[in-house]
Structure 1
Amino acid sequence: MHQMNDLRRIDLNLLVILDALLSEQHVTRAAERLHLSQPAVSHALARLREMLGDPLLVRAGAGLVATPRALELMAPLREALASVQALLAPNTFDPASAKRRFRLAMSDYGAAIVLPGLIARLRQEAPGIDLQISHASREGMLDGVLNGDIDLAAGVFPELPHELRCTPLFEEQFVCLVDARRLPASGVLDLPTYLARPHVLLEMRGSGTPEIERALTAIGQRRHVAVSLPHWSVAPQLIAGTDLILTVAARGLQGVDQPQLSVVPPPFPIPSFSFVLAWHVRRGGDQALNWLNRQIAQVIVHG
């Protein structure tokens, strides 16, 4: 009975405000995010401090910093709010009338594969669904899903934290893009030529291409990287008329239409990899998110 009385004292809106405050660590930004006035959020913070017996956010220079107690609260608070949202959500999801914004994380490789078909499908079937796309390293994307900043992350995640689940989208192979005139007379890219030539490395915000380097290490070899790029789209344009080699995932070259370029197999084994959607187990009851998850999978299969 005592526990029930404690629950009756808690205003759920205060927990929503606390979540915004801990995320933004700034009263004004939290107020803007919640569409509330700054005095209302300040008043809520005062009530939260009294209720939890902790200052929660303390002044540090021009900003605010979360206390150790506040940091402990962040993950369980978001999990609790997600559970409440799933509990109160309607049993059925109607894409035609739904109004939601989803936050997706993916590289430009993933965006090129997923977004064109997905956006076309959403505009036709669910025009009220908005997408916010972000880009980070593999670790950054998974951290975003774990802390609730990201709803779905599309990428290559060989190891997932136990709190996350994944929806496999496709299995991918590596290929090499070269200038056709710089291939050996046999038309085959052999290992001595591969090792002697300079390479373009895609190193997208710390993720790099570890699969290629690991495969080279496995045969006791290294390659010379002449150009290292943080993004995908310009890389194929650097190959024509040069001796450079670009070793990339095959689907990333689907839009490349230059007759002077050749796509050939790498001259050493590089394991394939799974491209997946990662999502948090606590979101398993979110029917809207489950619907979006299915749409992405169908786009990959059917276009």
Structure 2
Amino acid sequence: MHRMNALRRVDLNLLVILDALLLERHVTRAAERLHLSQPAVSHALARLRDLLGDPLLVRAGAGLAPTARALELAAPLAETLAQVQALLAPNAFAPASARRTFRVAMSDYGAAIILPGLIRTLRHEAPGIDLQICHASREGMLEGVLNGDIDVAAGVFPDLPGELRSTPLFEERYACLLDRQSLPADGALDLPTYLARPHVLLEMRGSGTPEIERTLTALRERRRVAVSLPHWSVAPQLIAGTDLILTVASRALDGIDRTSLAVVPPPFEIAPFTFVLAWHGRRGGDQALNWLNRRIQEGVEGGGRVPVS
């Protein structure tokens, strides 16, 4: 009875506004997210401060910074709202008639693996769903998921923040791409040759391939990076006719023309990595996003094939 009386004193819409404020850390942006006026959100923040006995968000530069109490509330609040959403709309998502845009972050590598099958699935099952694909560093992807700018990210994320959830898509290993004429006579790549050659590095804003560098550091070795690129498309063209080596995830090389190029294992053991989908825990009740995540996972597992009716 005491709990029911306490709930009667609380306008649950205030919790939705608090969640938006904690996401945006800006009154105007929170108002835009909620389709409310700025004064309405400011008034709600004043009521929340009075209700919880804490400033919750204090001015910091052009935005707002959460207090310690607000940070404590963020995760349980997001989980609670997600559960309420699931409770009130258990069967709300109908793929065939849905109209929605998802913002998905992935690299060129992820796009090549995920998008062909996923797009075919969407056109077949949910033609009203649109995708906005963005490309960022690992850190940029996770930041986008945390602040709500990105719905789901596909990538390699060894250290996910506690607020995020993930599901594995596949395990991957590294391979080396070389010009076929630059291979040693026996067709194998040994460590001295690998270290003596210049390398091409694919990186986005400094994220690079830390797994390779960590492995070489453990071996007390270093490689020389002659060319650093933020995208994949031109990389194979740089290898042809040169002594350069490109070390990348093996699936990225599946469609390579091997007439002039060769794909060989690295001459040292690099630990495999897991490619995952990551989304915010507060989105657990978002059935449309759950559906999209399942379709991505099924597409990767099934090679992107779409059933024909």
The residue that corresponds to 1:302 in the other structure is 303
Question: Does the Cα contact within 8 Å between 1:78 and 1:148 map onto a contact in 2?
Answer: no
Pick closer, same or farther for the CA change 1:140–1:74 going to 2, 3 Å. Answer: farther
Give the TM-score, by structure 1 length: 0.84
The residue that corresponds to 2:14 in the other structure is 14
**Alignment partners' CA distance in 2, 1:165 and 1:57:** 26
CA positional deviation for 1:160:
5.2
Question: Does the Cα contact within 8 Å between 1:239 and 1:245 map onto a contact in 2?
Answer: yes
Question: Does the Cα contact within 8 Å between 1:78 and 1:147 map onto a contact in 2?
Answer: no
**Alignment partners' CA distance in 1, 2:295 and 2:281:** 19
CA positional deviation for 1:246:
0.4
The residue that corresponds to 2:74 in the other structure is 74
Deviates more, 1:145-154 or 1:201-210: 145-154
The residue that corresponds to 1:247 in the other structure is 247
CA positional deviation for 1:152:
3.3
Determine what percentage of the aligned residue pairs are the same residue. Answer: 79
Question: Does the Cα contact within 8 Å between 2:75 and 2:163 map onto a contact in 1?
Answer: no
Question: Does the Cα contact within 8 Å between 2:79 and 2:284 map onto a contact in 1?
Answer: no
For residues 155-200 of structure 1, give each alpha carbon's deviation from its aligned partner in whole angstroms, at most 9, with x where no partner exists. Answer: 2244556776543322222111112222223333333221111111
For the pair 1:104 / 2:97, whether they are aligned, the reply is no
Question: Does the Cα contact within 8 Å between 2:145 and 2:279 map onto a contact in 1?
Answer: yes
What stretches of structure 1 of length at least 5 have no aligned partner? none
**Alignment partners' CA distance in 2, 1:151 and 1:226:** 36
**Alignment partners' CA distance in 2, 1:215 and 1:59:** 44
The residue that corresponds to 1:222 in the other structure is 222
**Alignment partners' CA distance in 1, 2:18 and 2:159:** 32
Pick closer, same or farther for the CA change 1:142–1:38 going to 2, 3 Å. Answer: closer
**Alignment partners' CA distance in 2, 1:205 and 1:3:** 50
The residue that corresponds to 1:113 in the other structure is 113
Equivalent position amino acid for 2:70 in 1 = A
Equivalent position amino acid for 2:123 in 1 = R
**Alignment partners' CA distance in 2, 1:47 and 1:164:** 29
Equivalent position amino acid for 2:292 in 1 = L
Pick closer, same or farther for the CA change 1:60–1:302 going to 2, 3 Å. Answer: closer
Where 1:96 maps in the other structure, the secondary structure is: helix
Question: Does the Cα contact within 8 Å between 2:106 and 2:155 map onto a contact in 1?
Answer: yes
Question: Does the Cα contact within 8 Å between 1:75 and 1:147 map onto a contact in 2?
Answer: no
Deviates more, 1:206-215 or 1:254-263: 254-263
Give the TM-score, by structure 2 length: 0.83
Quote the RMSD (CA, aligned, Å): 3.0
Question: Does the Cα contact within 8 Å between 1:107 and 1:136 map onto a contact in 2?
Answer: yes
Count of matched residue positions in the alignment of Structure 1 and Structure 2:
303
What stretches of structure 2 of length at least 5 have no aligned partner? 305-309
Where 1:104 maps in the other structure, the secondary structure is: strand
For the pair 1:293 / 2:293, whether they are aligned, the reply is yes
For the pair 1:39 / 2:39, whether they are aligned, the reply is yes
